Amino acid sequence: MSNAEQKASSPLPGGAFTPAAEVKAAMTDFFQEFNSFQTELKSRIKEQEDRLTMFDRKHSAASRPALSHANDLEAPHQKAFAAYLRSGDDDGLRHLEVEGKGLNTSVNADGGFLVDPATSDRITAVLRGASSIRAIANVVAVDSTAFDVLTDQADIGYAWASEVDPTAESTPPQIERISIPLHELSAMPKASQRLLDDSAFDVEGWLAERIADRFSRAECGAFITGDGADKPKGFLNYTAVAEDGWTWGNLGYVATGADGDFSSIDSADAIVDLVYSLGARYRANATFVMNSKTAGAVRKMKDADGRFLWSDGLANGEPARLMGYPVLIAEDMPDIASDATAIAFGDFSVGYTIAERPDLRILRDPFSAKPNVLFYATKRIGGDVSDFAAIKLLKFAAS
């Protein structure tokens, strides 16, 4: 230590310290207290982190049993269902019913078992993705044998209110009840017992694919042309009347101006007239429906400025568009012919309702087609027009 420092730190006569010594002592005390504060703060932070870590572990541990429990409930049914499909052993499914584990997935009161959720979801996904009215219609799940749609055909009355004049009475509603009965749709795919005995064969996937294919083809036709006898009633099964004379219970149409073809003069005008024959409140969510042959003829059309009316979707999976509206290609629509209503345009989410029970039942039959095994799959479904003002047709006729 230098002489200057010794003098600065030396006490004055009588035991007092110099000002420099006092500052140095104060700084020393400050740093000691600061270091103590840092140590305590770090200790508290570590303690808090330890608590959060313990909370996360407890939370994760608490959540695991629920997921495991759900998987444990689903796995036995899938195994039991697979055993039933391969060998006809239904003891596993019956055991689940007795224990109450499969009340929503396994019943045999009607001579069959409901398919497992995974297979049912695969079939439903295929049906939704098919080129069917289902893709644009209103689809509801019901537990009863019918579904009722209520529509009010009357406009609600209105008036400008004032302080002295009484408010005019509104128009009484005109309620129309449309009942959509559910019908049984069935499919019967067939497989050999030898194939079912092969453990590498994905019997659930094979069954889902076959059932979905048959159900899809049946639905597509019924929703368009079905007569309503033990099947849904298609929208083309209703009487088509000229738009000028349209009444509830019928579908209005616009004529092309030529028998069995578009008019040779301004052929695109018929498409424009069809679009604007639909009420404005329906046009925002409207879709064209036609088959591939009709689409081939329509996509060649141009407007007065030489621009094509048809445009393909820009993104993958996006539907083609006609005059800005999406186009659904449904092969069950009629071809262009004399008096054919080959093009429909409307808001099908309002105009057509599909009601179905969510359950799908399977019955294994190893006797009727030996040495093959039949799988009798059934579901209940119905469909009908729910708003006759929401769908318009293009008729290939002179008037």
Q: What is the DSSP string of 129-153?
A: HSSSGGGTSEEEE-SSSEEEEEEE-
Question: Which stretch of 68-77, 190-199, 224-233 has the lowest confidence by average pLDDT?
Answer: 68-77
Task: Looking at the structure, tell me whether residues 146 and 87 fall in a common domain.
Answer: no
Task: Looking at the structure, tell me whether residues 73 and 140 fall in a common domain.
Answer: no
Task: Looking at the structure, tell me whether residues 175 and 67 fall in a common domain.
Answer: no
- At residue 157, the pLDDT reads 56
Task: Looking at the structure, tell me whether residues 235 and 307 fall in a common domain.
Answer: yes
Q: Using CA of residue 332, residue 334, residue 336, residue 342, what is the dihedral sign?
A: negative
Percent of the chain at pLDDT exceeding 70: 75
Read off the pLDDT band of 221 (50, 70, 90): very high
Query: How many domains does the structure of the chain reveal?
Result: 2
CA angle, 189 then 193 then 198, to 5°: 105
Looking up residue 172, the CATH number of its domain turns out to be 3.30.2400.10
pLDDT tens for 111-141 read: 567 776 777 777 888 787 777 899 999 999 8
Among 75-89, 102-116, 192-206, top mean pLDDT goes to 192-206
Domain-embedded: residue 323 = yes
Task: Looking at the structure, tell me whether residues 211 and 355 fall in a common domain.
Answer: yes
Q: What is the pTM for the complete model shown?
A: 0.71
Phi, psi torsion values for 21, nearest 5 degrees: -65, -40
Among residues 85, 106, 127, which one ends one of the domains?
106
The residue-averaged pLDDT of 50-71 equals: 54
Domain-embedded: residue 7 = no
Contact (CB, 8 A) for 19 and 9: no
Domain-embedded: residue 127 = yes
Task: Looking at the structure, tell me whether residues 77 and 35 fall in a common domain.
Answer: yes
Q: What is the mean pLDDT of the chain?
A: 79
* Cα first-last separation, the chain: 119
Angstrom distance (rounded) from CA 359 to CA 381:
10
Task: Looking at the structure, tell me whether residues 236 and 102 fall in a common domain.
Answer: no
Task: Looking at the structure, tell me whether residues 224 and 123 fall in a common domain.
Answer: yes
- At residue 102, the pLDDT reads 40
pLDDT for residue 107 is more than 60: no
pLDDT tens for 5-41 read: 455 455 555 555 577 777 777 778 777 777 777 787 7
Angstrom distance (rounded) from CA 111 to CA 215:
20
Domain-embedded: residue 1 = no
Task: Looking at the structure, tell me whether residues 80 and 59 fall in a common domain.
Answer: yes
Instruction: Find the helix or strand (DSSP H, E) in which 358 lies.
Output: none
Domain-embedded: residue 2 = no
Angstrom distance (rounded) from CA 163 to CA 148:
42
CA angle, 211 then 214 then 219, to 5°: 115
Task: Looking at the structure, tell me whether residues 93 and 234 fall in a common domain.
Answer: no
Domain-embedded: residue 4 = no
Question: What single letter denotes the amino acid at residue 280?
Answer: A
E strand residue ranges, 55-102: none
Angstrom distance (rounded) from CA 291 to CA 336:
9
Task: Looking at the structure, tell me whether residues 95 and 216 fall in a common domain.
Answer: no
Higher pLDDT: 237 or 65? It is: 237
Residues 6+ apart with CB under 8 A from 386: 138, 149, 151, 178, 180, 350, 351, 352, 353
Question: Which stretch of 139-153, 201-215, 282-296, 308-322 has the lowest confidence by average pLDDT?
Answer: 308-322
Q: Domain span at residue 52?
A: 17-106
